Structure 1
Amino acid sequence: MRVVTSAEIDRVLTFPALIDALAEAFRGDMVAPPRHHHEIERPRAPGTLLLMPSWTGPAMRDGFVGVKVVSVFPENGAKGLPSVMGSYLLMDGETGEPVSVLDGTRLTVWRTAAASALAARHLAREDASRMVMIGSGALAPFLIRAHLSQRPIREVALWNHNGRKAESLAASLRAEGLPVTAVTDLEDAVRGADLVSCATLSTAPIVKGAWLKAGAHLDLVGAFNLKMREADDEALRRAQVYIDTPAARSEGGDVAVSLQSGAIPESHVLGTLTDLCQAPPRRDPEAITAFKSVGAALEDLAAAMLVWRSLAKAL
């Protein structure tokens, strides 16, 4: 059994190749049962343990079975550790034999960013040129790269509650040749943005619906439990809302919270990533759109399969 490191994952994965692999997965024959979700009591803040299984159906060639084990400890940032860590076990689909353990933390940021960009492929304006990235954690650079692979984005404004962290990340991304600038006035940046991506652990709304201009696309990635919010109710009320999987109706912040409070009706959620991939909607260029992700096991499996096949080709 091969151990696949984060460096190897970075070497073989690219955008938009991973986005294409996820699109195929959402259109294809893959099974993803409900994930196991357990809260772990700790003195300062609770942790979370997630178990996410998935497998390919009989119609798919080179079948696989996989499961991701993820821990989420929000206080890890103070210790210099990622808030989210995990491992992915990939098994042969015919025999169940383990073939690889992949760095689940790295796999997660790649596939999460790819899922957001896949949604934006169908929901963001084709001429979107100005992006705002809210948050400067591990996901931020991947979200920026993924969205840049799908739309002709010329400017990326990066905002974080800690301005120094935003400046540091913006500088490192500019060194890669990416058009990223740290900003301090979030309202002004959002009002001019075609695409707003959020990846935070905020417990209060950061993006206000009144700030979103006609045609804007809102990408909500953080806020993984019902105590967290990244956008207010008005942002969701103004938007055509899509989610990655039906679980986002009851898990995670934002959409689930607004549904539970009655701020938006069930009918306001127009579909999932499967719906977007199987029957893409016609995009009204003036409509505001929003996408909320809580994570899908088939995304992990699709990413692990792409990594495994890419490594095999390199041998």
Structure 2
Amino acid sequence: MRSIDAAAVHAALPYDKLIPHLRDAFRVGGEVPLRSRFHIDAVDGGAGGTLLLMPAWQPGRHIGIKTVSVFPDNAKLGHGSVAATYLLLDARTGLPKAVIDGEAITLRRTGCASALAASYLARQDAQHLLMVGAGSLAPHLIRAHCAVRNYTRIEIWNRNRARAEQAAATLRDLGGTVAVVDDLESSVRVADTISCATLSRDPLVRGDWLKAGAHLDLVGAFTPEMHETDAAALTRSSVYVDNRAGALKEPGDLVTPINAGQFKPEDVRGDLFDLCRADVMARRSDTEITLFKSVGLALEDLAAAELVVEGQQT
């Protein structure tokens, strides 16, 4: 059984290769049970954490299981908030084939899943990308979005400006198009695409700020208590998700408005399976506001892991 580290994962998963691979995976499908989520109690006055177990398989091919821990207080200790490990098995025998750095897989596939959605939902002429949040996902989301649209202006906003500047520094190869901004509302009002990856419990991007034709990509909120936007964003937008089962149960961005009667589950226009199979219409006009909510899907991890292992074999 091979052990594959983060550097090898990143090398095997360039954005322009993983995005079409994910598109193929959503067209083919697989067995994807709803992920299991467990709360880990806090100690010493900390915030506690969350443990996620995410299995998926395709009969006759592979079984994959990702374990993810999310501990928001880790930043105080100098660690990332998210840690993950991926186990890939042979679906014909159940024997393990590889243990893979799960954080690297998560970073790559999350960015590419959002970019895959944006390839259907963002305006073709989108030029201004705003990144809300400056965690480890931010550079991957930016680079993945740049693989599907030609952004000439990229902005990063974060509550802690220093972290936004650190994220921007990792993107210097994109040229002089990357800037750190302090006024979130002003930037949202003019951005063509807004991508959010935060652990916020309070809405950051207000639906009333979205301009005609904007695309809002929501990645961060993954529990009912978390919110990156408000109900107005949903009611003003054509709403899509990565998968209905998880998106209608887990994130506060959808769960809270649904429970308040401000949004109905049937208002979700489609998911990534629908978009990739052309079962639903994507963006219909240059003035339509679109919204994509990602909660993460084990099929994405499985597709990425297979691509990593295939790369190791060549």
TM-score bracket for the superposition, by shorter chain length = over 0.9
Distance 1:261 1:69, change over 3 A: same
* Equivalent residue, structure 2, for 1:219: 217
* Partner deviation per Cα, 1:87-144 (whole Å, 9 max, x = no partner): 0000112111101000001110111111101110111101110000000000000000
Counterpart amino acid of residue 42 in structure 1: A
Partners of 1:137 and 1:9 lie apart in 2 by 19
Q: Could you tell me whether the CA contact under 8 Å between 1:65 and 1:96 is conserved in 2? A: yes
* Equivalent residue, structure 1, for 2:56: 54
Partners of 2:13 and 2:81 lie apart in 1 by 23
Please say which of residues 296-305 and 13-22 is displaced more in the overlay. 13-22
Counterpart amino acid of residue 163 in structure 1: R
* Equivalent residue, structure 2, for 1:260: 259
Q: Could you tell me whether the CA contact under 8 Å between 2:16 and 2:147 is conserved in 1? A: yes
Q: Matches of residues 288-303 of structure 1 in structure 2 within 5 Å?
A: 288-303=289-304
* Equivalent residue, structure 2, for 1:269: 268
Partners of 1:222 and 1:238 lie apart in 2 by 20
* Equivalent residue, structure 2, for 1:306: 307
Counterpart amino acid of residue 77 in structure 2: K
Counterpart amino acid of residue 58 in structure 2: T
Partners of 1:17 and 1:193 lie apart in 2 by 27
Partners of 1:64 and 1:250 lie apart in 2 by 27
Partners of 1:178 and 1:204 lie apart in 2 by 32
Does 1:67 find its partner at 2:65?
Answer: yes
RMSD: 1.2
**What are structure 2's unaligned runs of at least 5 residues?**
none
Deviation at residue 177 of structure 1 after TM alignment: 3.5
* Equivalent residue, structure 2, for 1:34: 34
Return structure 1 stretches of 4+ with deviation > 4 angstroms. none
* Equivalent residue, structure 1, for 2:195: 197
SS at match of 2:269: strand
Distance 1:289 1:176, change over 3 A: closer
Deviation at residue 28 of structure 1 after TM alignment: 0.3
TM-score (norm 2): 0.96
Partners of 1:185 and 1:174 lie apart in 2 by 22
Counterpart amino acid of residue 49 in structure 1: L
Counterpart amino acid of residue 10 in structure 1: H
Counterpart amino acid of residue 47 in structure 1: G
Partners of 1:178 and 1:259 lie apart in 2 by 42
* Equivalent residue, structure 2, for 1:248: 247
SS at match of 1:89: strand
Q: Could you tell me whether the CA contact under 8 Å between 2:59 and 2:91 is conserved in 1? A: no
TM-score (norm 1): 0.95
Does 1:166 find its partner at 2:137?
Answer: no
Counterpart amino acid of residue 19 in structure 1: I
* Equivalent residue, structure 2, for 1:129: 127
SS at match of 1:16: helix
Counterpart amino acid of residue 248 in structure 2: R
Q: Could you tell me whether the CA contact under 8 Å between 1:29 and 1:57 is conserved in 2? A: no
Distance 1:178 1:102, change over 3 A: farther
Does 1:147 find its partner at 2:145?
Answer: yes
Counterpart amino acid of residue 97 in structure 1: L
Q: Could you tell me whether the CA contact under 8 Å between 2:59 and 2:92 is conserved in 1? A: no
Partners of 2:27 and 2:252 lie apart in 1 by 26
Distance 1:166 1:87, change over 3 A: same
